[in-house]
Amino acid sequence: MAEVAFKKPYHVDFAELMRTYETNYAKLRALLPNQPSVGDVRCYQAANMAYQLEVGEVTKYTTLVDICQSDDVAVFPLPKMSVRLYHDARVAEVCSSEHLKRVQARYEYPNDKMVQKDEKAQLNRFLGDWLSFCLRHGISRTSLGI
């Protein structure tokens, strides 16, 4: 008899995603000024690669930061992404990425853009890895104003 394989539907692991958000918040706060203002830019040099964090929006409870690689020719290009920090909850999440204007919690697969089912979780884990890399190996090219 032939057996039919059923795939389990993808469910967002909310607890894991929140842990990722919390650690990303702490890491990102370490790379930003204490009182960020719109237009503040921080540049970091890490392993011969240049990265830039720019504050795009500041409200009472949130800060929006745009992250990109600022090398003339990127060896391992970092996707441009926008990250929103929620100060009351102390979490940071990727809101948009180079190929997605708004990152959804989950996607049906397959889809037109070939986005993975867990794209949001993957982007936020990637952000965490990148922030750890910058904190370990990065050198600020601008005064932190601490």
pTM of the model: 0.82
Domain that holds residue 65: 37-139
Q: Is residue 4 part of a domain?
A: no
Whole-number pLDDT of residue 57: 97
Q: Is residue 23 part of a domain?
A: no
Query: Around 31, how many Cα atoms within 13 Å sit in the side-chain half-sphere?
Result: 35
CA proximity to 29, closest of 78, 82, 85, 89: 85
Q: Is residue 17 part of a domain?
A: no
Q: Is residue 93 part of a domain?
A: yes
Query: Around 46, how many Cα atoms within 13 Å sit in the side-chain half-sphere?
Result: 21
Q: Is residue 134 part of a domain?
A: yes
Distance of CA 47 to the CA centre of its chain: 19
- Confidence band of 106 (pLDDT split at 50, 70, 90): low
Domain count for the chain: 1
Whole-number pLDDT of residue 132: 93
Q: What average pLDDT does the structure give for the chain?
A: 85
Tens digit of pLDDT for each residue in 23-44?
999 999 999 988 999 999 999 8
Q: Is residue 43 part of a domain?
A: yes
- Confidence band of 146 (pLDDT split at 50, 70, 90): very low
Q: What is the mean pLDDT of residues 84-96?
A: 96
Q: Is residue 18 part of a domain?
A: no
Q: Is residue 14 part of a domain?
A: no
